[in-house]
A and B are shown apart, each in its own frame.
Chain A
């Protein structure tokens, strides 16, 4: 059974976002990392890049496949998790903590309300 961060919101494409002051932090869910298996490479966007909700912002590569990761909300990237370059397995070990992907300033904060609650995401992920 995969774990869930109760303070986060989710998208059905398995990204999570969490409020961190004025910023939003994003990553992929425990369910997603479990399904992907060992993660060996993460490609992240440049700081300063502005992306729309649903746009691919990075790539996560497991042993067997590469998958795009999508912006849960529109925003401007203000930080990326540099630690993933040296230790991409952090995404497997701590998907909601040390395995975060990016932080962004939301350009459409109202999008938050349209995201899946932890309960709704859990139900959706459980169907897979």
Chain B
């Protein structure tokens, strides 16, 4: 099993560990995942996300190649821009979801840990098939460390810890800065719904930067805590962000999951034909949020209409600490997808009352 360079730190901090995408990762710390979630919403959370993969695409043909590979429009991106995209197969379903950074001379693509090998193989196969010997695809995950610093006071903390003004970066942009002396690619991006950054830097700096940022928070009176993967999941869930393998997968179309906005139908890309075909035919199911009473609606639980007919299944569900709800994401027939529709989620054999609610369940202060 893989370990990140902060593995010993997590153990010493008393973290509960579990395997995620082949890595032994912290699920929660003694603070508890509910409180970790709330700390991130009110101040700053630090996330060891070194399991995430980074792929760099360079070469004279890189722009054209990346544009044809991913669903989002990318050719209008300027150095420093960052954008969400999907990687689709020919059937128009989702191999992975990506964050793409346009950096000088390269495309820097952040991929999910569990999909990295498949993504790399897919990209290499598309390059071969198109005889793109003018494109270089490299896995940068080993030498690159990745941590996220998220929360309403994250930028204040980063400004204090770095040699340039991170607060001057617009959302979804990136730049180079020294953070506590370490050379970083700083993206004003994240996966919590909060403002904040994701830092990419040489792996050897991992522990120094991690402990240094926590110490800097202490010194400046900015509450900052290490956050495990359980709270990372509830934060992203509440903010309406997808987790591949749940709201997105190779059996889900972006149209069903509400990601038409991430597909630029004015350009060519792998899977476009299938997306257009489905758009014309209409989807047979849609992703909805459900507020549920009577327990935690978990993945795989059946969704029923009021008459008790099966109409879908939960793909992710949990207690949402900020929204203070038990909520689920589920795919249901389009006729039942309207906000306010009464449904049921079968929890341990008992149909529990559920109602379709608007996603996301949480909108941070800076976006209201």
Q: Which A residues form the contact surface with B (CB < 8 A)?
A: 37-38, 40-41, 43, 59, 61, 63-64, 66, 89, 92
Contacts and interface: CB of A to CB of B under 8 A. Distances in A.
Interface in B292-331: 294-296, 298, 318-319, 326
A41 B33 contact: no
Interface of B: 16, 27-28, 32-35, 230, 234, 294-296, 298, 318-319, 326, 348
A102 to B, nearest CB: 18
Contact of B318 (A37, A43, A63): A63
Nearest to B30: A34
Given A40-B319, A41-B326, A63 B298 contact: no
A38 B348 contact: no
Contacts of A64: 27, 230
A40 B318 CA distance: 9
Given A38-B28, A92-B32, A66 B295 contact: yes
A94 B25 CA distance: 28
A43 B296 CA distance: 11
A12 B16 CA distance: 22
A59 B294 CA distance: 11
Nearest to B233: A63
Contacts of A43: 294-295
18 contacts: A37-B27, A38-B28, A38-B32, A38-B33, A38-B35, A40-B34, A40-B319, A40-B326, A43-B295, A59-B295, A61-B319, A63-B28, A63-B33, A63-B34, A63-B230, A63-B234, A64-B27, A66-B298
Contacts of B234: 63
A124 to B, nearest CB: 21
Nearest to B295: A41
Contacts of A89: 34
A38 B34 contact: yes
Nearest to B36: A38
A38 B296 CA distance: 13
Given A37-B230, A63-B318, 18 more contacts: A37-B28, A37-B33, A38-B28, A38-B32, A38-B34, A40-B296, A41-B326, A59-B295, A59-B348, A61-B295, A63-B34, A63-B230, A63-B234, A63-B319, A64-B230, A66-B298, A66-B348, A92-B32
A59 to B, nearest CB: 7
Contacts of A37: 16, 27-28, 32-33, 230
B39 to A, nearest CB: 13
A63 B326 CA distance: 11
Contacts of A61: 295-296, 319
Name the 8 nearest CB pairs between A and B, nearest first: A40-B319, A38-B34, A38-B32, A61-B296, A63-B33, A63-B230, A38-B33, A41-B295
A3 to B, nearest CB: 15
A42 to B, nearest CB: 10
A29 B32 CA distance: 17
Nearest to B298: A66
A41 B296 contact: yes
A78 B319 CA distance: 29
Contacts of B34: 38, 40, 63, 89
Nearest to A64: B230
Contact of A41 (B27, B32, B319): B319
A92 B33 CA distance: 12
Nearest to B35: A38
B88 to A, nearest CB: 31
Contacts of A40: 34, 296, 319, 326
A84 to B, nearest CB: 13
Contacts of A63: 28, 33-34, 230, 234, 318-319
Nearest to B18: A64
Contacts of A92: 32
Nearest to A42: B295
A37 B231 CA distance: 12
